[in-house]
Structure 1
Amino acid sequence: MIYQIDKLFDLAKVLDPFERTCAITVALKIVDESCKMDEYEKSIFMMLYENLENPLSDFFDEEIHDLIENIQLFPSDELFSRISEEKQKAMDYITRPKMKAFKASVRARIL
């Protein structure tokens, strides 16, 4: 499956706060290597996260972006632990069915 990158960039501009929470949570799962997507889809969802026009969500504060950046630059057990905590709290808030629906929606919108 090949996604249209221009649609991805457009989508990153219009995600609502809940969808941004989902996109950030997927990024957390990718950076802590617990995401089960293939490498291509991981890159697509990281691109979505990295191109969010508005990085604010209805769950995370702005510090989450620093945490994601720091673990990519300076991985450590402490940062992985913090990522794991944040990811778990977010998944409790989002719920698994809503996360699956978000990912399916993204895939459908960028085909």
Structure 2
Amino acid sequence: MTPAGVADWVAAHPLAPAEVDCTVAVMLKILDGKCKMRPTEKRVMEWLYDSVRDCPGERLDADTHALIDEARRQPDESMRLCVYERRVLAETVISRPVMKAFKAMIRQKGLLDPGHDQEEAEA
């Protein structure tokens, strides 16, 4: 998959605001170093985030996007701690069933490998 391929996937499968929030939460988890996805899946999720970052979310706001931008530019330990705190907060406002449904949907609709063990790829 390429960044253009992910953008095409998003065009064919527009995300609901709650799914945009899930994408943002996964991006935070990638940036704080706690994401257990394979490196190739992390790249796809980063491209997904880039493709939907301007779409409306349900609960996560522009401040979260600004933090992600800063963390991508300055990936040091103090920034990682800020991202960690924001990620934990994000995970408290997104219900577990919503996140699990999102992860299942992106696998079922072909963004990520549906054959990969989802427990190992827990984001």
What band does the TM-score fall into relative to the shorter chain?
0.7 to 0.9
Task: Find the aligned partners of 1:91 and 1:73 in 2 and give their Cα distance.
Answer: 23
Contact map agreement 2:20 2:53 (CA 8 A) in 1: no
Contact map agreement 1:12 1:49 (CA 8 A) in 2: no
Q: Secondary structure at the match of 1:51?
A: helix
Contact map agreement 1:55 1:62 (CA 8 A) in 2: no
Deviates more, 1:12-21 or 1:22-31: 12-21
Q: Equivalent residue for 1:82?
A: 82
CA drift at 1:53: 6.5
Give identity over the alignment, percent. Answer: 32
Contact map agreement 1:12 1:53 (CA 8 A) in 2: no
Task: Find the aligned partners of 1:69 and 1:59 in 2 and give their Cα distance.
Answer: 18
Task: Find the aligned partners of 2:79 and 2:10 in 1 and give their Cα distance.
Answer: 26
Residue identity in the other structure for 1:9: A
Compare the two structures and name the one with the higher helix fraction. Answer: 1
CA drift at 1:9: 1.9
Length, aligned pairs only = 108
Deviates more, 1:29-38 or 1:87-96: 87-96
Task: Structure 2 unaligned segments of length 5 or more: list them.
Answer: 112-123
Contact map agreement 2:19 2:102 (CA 8 A) in 1: yes
Runs of 4+ off more than 4 Å? none
RMSD: 2.2
Residue identity in the other structure for 1:83: V
Task: Find the aligned partners of 2:38 and 2:51 in 1 and give their Cα distance.
Answer: 20
Q: How does the TM-score come out when normalised to structure 2?
A: 0.75
**Cα deviations by residue, 1:36-56 (Å, 9 ceiling, x for unpaired):** 000011111111111116333
